[in-house]
Amino acid sequence: MKQERYDTQYEEQFQVHIEKVNTALQEGEIEVFRESFLDIHPYDQAMFFNQQDEEARGQIYTYLSPEEMSEILINIDLEDVTAFFEEMDPRYAAMILAEMPTDDAVDVLNELDKEKVASYLTIMDQESANEIKQLLHYEEKTAGSIMTTEYVSIYNNMTVSETMRLLKTEAPDAETIYYLFVLDGDKRLVGVLSIRDLIIADDETKIEELMSTKVVAVSVAKDQEEVAQMFRDYDFLALPVVDFQDHLLGIITVDDILDVMEEEASEDYSMLAAMSNTDIKDDNAFRSARKRLPWLVILLFLGMLTASLIGRFEDTLNQVAVLAIFIPLIAGMAGNSGTQALAVAVRGMATGDYNNNDKWKLVGREAITGLITGTVCGSILVLVIYLWQGNIYLGFLVGFSIMGSLIVATLAGTLIPMFMNRLNIDPAVASGPFITTINDLISILIYFGMATTFMSYLI
């Protein structure tokens, strides 16, 4: 109860503070605005800024320095940030990019037109432009594209006192100083040193005596999703990025990996819904439709195959019309079972829980799961249909069809994403609607195939 009162009191004080900031902005009181606005957390600054209209944002641009503005923009979604750059004065925008962490600046520039990128790089100071250019040429969604070059590196022959002096000089510009990365005379990564170990060591101790040589690093070309898995497995705060000769090129920090995890999760969710990676805030109906149509057209033709397959069993339906009643049931159950298996398989591969041997254990487990669920559901249907229709043979037909469909659907939901993963295609592409439509075809074939075979028992 005491905590709730504290939270409520804090929320009320925060709202009063935000009102003060808003009033100062509306009345053009620059000093009051700056004092109140810069007193709140950068994330709250970003949320306040993001809620303003274009005219109010224009005022804020004149009230804040490029360095202060950069702190705000790195806490806002990339799509919104690129829109804000469109409304800024180019020189002001270029200065903001120069003040942002290099990896964040590169993310913004990758979303802009090449002409504007060239313009910004020409306007900003040469040192910042060169740092950004180093990262711009790396392929998107690789370790190189998300790393930062703002880190502290030291040499193994330095002493603790020399390192502390260097740290005082370089730390203000580094994105993180939790780890110090140790290089040899050829600038190869040979060790890592924590700040704690550095602080408690004697001044004249050599770094090579303190450092840990068990360094985990990633190649500059490694996929960002695999890098995210390494952060999860090792609980890193930062991870060095090296070239093929172990030269240190940059580091990836945990805050960047959190953004990657969100991006990958959003992308996989979109794929599972048979869509391109479309932002839900996108209010452009034509753009949204254009991204969804390719999958829908593919699914449309697969649906036509299902309709065509049912047409081939027209004679069977004419003789036993009651079979039509159970078509949605058979297809729906198969689709649901396949989607469940798909979710398990995609999640297992995305998190790295299944290696090559474990994948076949997963297939065996899902096959048995399909057999058990199919047997239970089929048995229930035999009893229900017998009581409803008074035809035990029809009950057995639908029951066995359900059992066979669930087994096959579960295996399809597991094997299709595994096959796509083997082809280096994101397994999430085996989307729910895609698996559902495929299983519709298979389940209808099983159902009518069995009905045609045992027609004499149904008539």
Confidence of residue 434 (pLDDT cuts 50, 70, 90): confident
Written as six digits, the tokens of 182 are 């140790």
Determine the average pLDDT of the residues in 138-145.
85
Written as six digits, the tokens of 202 are 């004697």
Confidence of residue 248 (pLDDT cuts 50, 70, 90): very high
Q: What is the pLDDT of residue 267?
A: 64
Q: What is the pLDDT of residue 266?
A: 63
The closest of 269, 458, 382 to 277, measured between CA atoms, is 269
DSSP-derived secondary structure for 255-288: HHHHHHHHHHHHHHHHHHTT--S--TT---HHHH
Q: Out of 41-55, 56-70, 131-145, 422-436, pick the least confident.
A: 422-436
Q: What is the pLDDT of residue 150?
A: 85
Q: What angle do CA 110, 181, 184 make, to 5 degrees?
A: 115
Confidence of residue 192 (pLDDT cuts 50, 70, 90): very high
Give the 3-state secondary structure of residue 378: helix
- Using the predicted structure, report yes or no on whether residue 433 has a pLDDT greater than 80: no
From the number of C-beta atoms within 10 Å of its C-beta (0-12, 13-18, 19+), residue 371 rates as middle
Domains along the chain with CATH numbers: 14-138 (1.25.60.10), 153-254 (3.10.580.10), 285-458 (1.10.357.20)
* Mean predicted lDDT score pLDDT of the chain: 83
pLDDT tens digits along 60-115: 999 999 999 999 998 888 888 888 998 999 999 999 999 988 888 888 888 888 88
Determine the average pLDDT of the residues in 425-437.
66
Phi/psi of residue 153, each to 5°?
A: -120, 145
Q: Which residues, other chains included, contact 114 with Cβ-Cβ below 8 Å and sequence gap of 6+?
A: none
- Using the predicted structure, report yes or no on whether residue 13 has a pLDDT greater than 50: yes
- Using the predicted structure, report yes or no on whether residue 184 has a pLDDT greater than 50: yes
Strand 153-155, strand 189-194: pairing:
unpaired
The closest of 195, 237, 187 to 216, measured between CA atoms, is 237
pLDDT tens digits along 367-414: 898 899 989 998 998 999 888 888 888 888 888 888 988 888 888 888
Confidence of residue 3 (pLDDT cuts 50, 70, 90): very low
Confidence of residue 353 (pLDDT cuts 50, 70, 90): low
Determine the average pLDDT of the residues in 439-458.
82
Written as six digits, the tokens of 72 are 């705000």
User: Would you say 34 and 63 are in contact if contact means Cβ atoms under 8 Å apart?
Assistant: yes
Q: What is the pLDDT of residue 427?
A: 62
Determine the average pLDDT of the residues in 434-441.
79
